[in-house]
Structure 1
């Protein structure tokens, strides 16, 4: 639930964050190639106001909820990548999964824990590119929403391998991202993904099972919803 001033505060925060994002300036990416400092600044500047976190919807993403509505995750181990303030992780847990959720920024993780004090989710601060070794092949479902589109092209191949490494035999990777055409130029970040970039996530034993091109609506811009699967399992 948001208040009436929420959209205006979010717009002001987005303008402030764009002004300090080195990826918004020519040649500035070298200053923060993994965007770690910028992500930390987002939560520091938000000062506990969720309007200051551009991707914080304060509710699970509708395309995730739609996907969950037709299936149960009972008994599955799930990993929520870039959990932010925790709404999507909670949705996965409500669907029956044993959920581990992580974010690069410890302040985000602590904020999520405060929002959901009775949560069954295991919250962790971790780096996608240097994840705990015990996560390798440990999850039946890996959920990624909006992390990839926040990364420059130069990191997508490494990110794909990192995501694939978490998926157990027989498990799946669910990716939800804003979409763009191959020839469409974007003044990001964020950088909506192309079909080719989604297809390139099929690495290290993952295969693309479904790819939905979800058209724009009154509430959402065009999105991809992709499911990639690893063979094997019980």
Structure 2
């Protein structure tokens, strides 16, 4: 059967994520899901085959990216990365899933994006404070709270001094542990970015769709150069 009802897909995602957490390898499930899809985009719940609209909106108002480097974390099927390269950035985009990276290269065979397989929990040392723009869209929320501080530190570490971090994420008003995945971020968790030397300069609240009341945030941070 090529398509599953959304409820079944959601249950499968939760099953895979739970198993990965239980096996102390919380990011292992992403490639399993991509591989199981057999090229069927409908089986990847976050794949829209278009840049995230709130990234696209931000790029519309941002200055051109010529001469500046950008990193896309957990690039999925590559649409956000391609939007950045169209803006003039020199783009590196990574995903932990080799299947996803190969899919990007198949979709965009002539792309100027450098697509690579990498793990957010073990990023290459040469990426430390290496990128003028880092885009983190909906990856932190896909990883459990038990490693949240580690993931936030990893994301923050790749922003160059004077650079920008753009985050798109689900948001929760409470500090109570949410049911997931996804595990929406709280104010105290977002506050860890400022503890790591990033200054929040913009926060835009929006909703996932007109039919839901799921809160989302687009946050822009600037790196002040205070990291150890």
Superposition TM-score, scaled by structure 2 size: 0.88
2:198 corresponds in structure 1 to 206
Root mean square deviation of aligned Cα:
2.2
1:218-233 counterparts in 2 under 5 A? 218=210, 221-231=214-224
**1:194 offset after TM fit, Å?**
1.6
Gaps in structure 1 of 5+ consecutive residues: none
2:93 corresponds in structure 1 to 101
CA contact (8 A) 1:164 1:203 kept: no
Distance (Å, rounded) in 2 between the aligned partners of 1:146 and 1:217:
15
CA contact (8 A) 2:27 2:143 kept: no
CA contact (8 A) 2:166 2:219 kept: yes
CA contact (8 A) 1:13 1:51 kept: no
Pick which of 188-197 and 171-180 moved more.
188-197
Matched, 1:66 2:57: yes
Pick which of 136-145 and 183-192 moved more.
183-192
Gaps in structure 2 of 5+ consecutive residues: none
Partner secondary structure for residue 36 of structure 1 = coil
Distance (Å, rounded) in 1 between the aligned partners of 2:105 and 2:7:
26
Matched, 1:16 2:37: no
CA contact (8 A) 1:150 1:189 kept: yes
1:120 is matched with which residue: 112, 115, 131? 112
Superposition TM-score, scaled by structure 1 size: 0.86
Matched, 1:46 2:42: no
Distance (Å, rounded) in 2 between the aligned partners of 1:181 and 1:208:
18
CA contact (8 A) 1:14 1:52 kept: no
CA contact (8 A) 1:9 1:52 kept: no
CA contact (8 A) 2:14 2:180 kept: no
Distance (Å, rounded) in 2 between the aligned partners of 1:212 and 1:34:
32
Distance (Å, rounded) in 2 between the aligned partners of 1:227 and 1:104:
24
Q: 1:159 to 1:73 in 2, by over 3 A?
A: same
**1:38 offset after TM fit, Å?**
1.4
Count of residues paired in the alignment = 222
